[in-house]
Amino acid sequence: MDGIHDLGGMHGFGPVEREEDEPVFHHDWEKRAFGIEFFTGSRIGTTGDKGRHAIERLAPATYLTASYYEKWMLALELLLEEHGVLTRQEIARRMAELVENHDG
Amino acid sequence: MSGHRHNAPESDIALRVKAIEQLLTEKGIVDPAAIDLVVDYYETRVGPRNGARVVARAWSDPDYKARLLAEATPAIAELGFSGLQGEDMVALENTPEVHNVVVCTLCSCYPWPVLGLPPVWYKSPPYRARIVREPRAVLAEFGTRVADDVEVRVWDSSAELRYMVLPMRPAGTEGLDEEALAALVTRDGMIGVTAL
């Protein structure tokens, strides 16, 4: 598949930005995202290759601007829907409920 | 990277992940306690100190080094490091003639059992795009000057095959034991973006 993920040799990117003493995860949600991804693939009958393919199917602008674990989660949503596990509407509804509870 | 607000109620992505975890937990697909365990494992048990022990052993034991370069996966497993994202390992020896550096141009493939999870820059578009086109320029950004008569080899990892660099042993370390040697080995040295 020839897509935006095939970055090798492309021009136009700036310097490699590094972080001193970088933590393994930058946010708690990244830890949860890593763990969710770790278990979900095999439980819903998908594979690492399909997971990578799902990341490669994200829109190019999203691919270049989303953080690494954001891409994982967006790709996972795609797979969850395609495997009939969860719909985006269910996820959106739960997010709205979490906000309500947070405010309440 | 997109900007994440830290003290705001909760970012969209944090909320999204929480919603997904709750829904998948309710469906019995994930178990939050199991997620805690796997996160702890990759935060505290796996990391470049593992790879450093492999390098220190190779520097100290010529027979081990020969096994590592001939067939890295079982040689690394001798020290107890194996598993996910390290099923097929290749060790690349730096020499006075050759400097090796590793990338995954397509994504983020990285040898988890010996180096842990990759840093953000390794997964970033600039590194993936540029290290294969202008490796010496990128290495220079890391403070690594490779002499013109030294060949630079860039190795593109895949989902199946993962690389680690065996750096050159620093001069003046002849008297050091394995533990002291391991302390000299860095993650970036084993990716190949720096020399030791």
ipTM, interface predicted TM-score of the complex: 0.94
CATH class, domain B47-191, is: alpha beta
- B124 flagged as catalytic: no
Percent of the residues in chain A that have a pLDDT greater than 70, as a whole number: 98
Query: pLDDT digits over A59-98, tens only?
Result: 999 999 999 999 999 999 999 999 999 999 999 999 999 9
pTM for this model (two decimals):
0.92
- Are B16 and A65 a contacting pair at CB < 8 A? no
CB contact (8 A) between residue A35 and residue B30: yes
**What per-residue confidence (pLDDT) applies to A47?**
85
List the helix and strand counts (H, then E) for chain A. 5, 0
In chain B, residues 151-170 whose CB comes closer than 8 Å to chain A? 156, 159
Q: Identify the pLDDT of residue B5.
A: 46
Domain boundaries, chain B: 12-44, 47-191
Which ranges constitute the DSSP H helices of chain B?
12-26, 32-40, 48-60, 62-70, 72-77, 112-115, 120-123, 125-130, 135-141, 178-182, 187-191
Please give, rounded to a whole number of angstroms, the shortest distance from the CA of A56 to a CA of chain B.
9
pLDDT, tens only, B1-38: 444 444 456 799 999 999 999 999 999 999 999 999 99
CA distance A84 to chain B (A): 12
**B11 has catalytic annotation:** no
| pLDDT single digits (tens) B126-184 | 999 999 999 999 999 999 999 999 999 999 999 889 999 999 999 999 999 999 999 99
Cβ of A95 and B16 within 8 Å? yes
Question: Tokens 């598993």 label which residue?
Answer: B83
Q: Which domains does chain A have, with CATH numbers?
A: 28-103 (1.10.472.20)
Q: Cβ of A67 and B2 within 8 Å?
A: yes
pLDDT in tens, B103-119: 999 999 999 999 999 99
Q: Which two tokens stand for residue B27?
A: 């469906």
* pLDDT at residue A48 in the model: 84
Query: Which residues in chain B (20-39) have CB-CB distances under 8 A to chain A?
Result: 20-24, 27, 29-31, 34-36, 38-39
CB-CB neighbours of B151 under 10 Å: 10
Nearest Cα of chain A lies from the Cα of B101 at a distance, in angstroms, of: 14
What per-residue confidence (pLDDT) applies to B6? 47
Mean pLDDT, chain A, rounded, equals 92
Structure tokens at A2: 């020839």
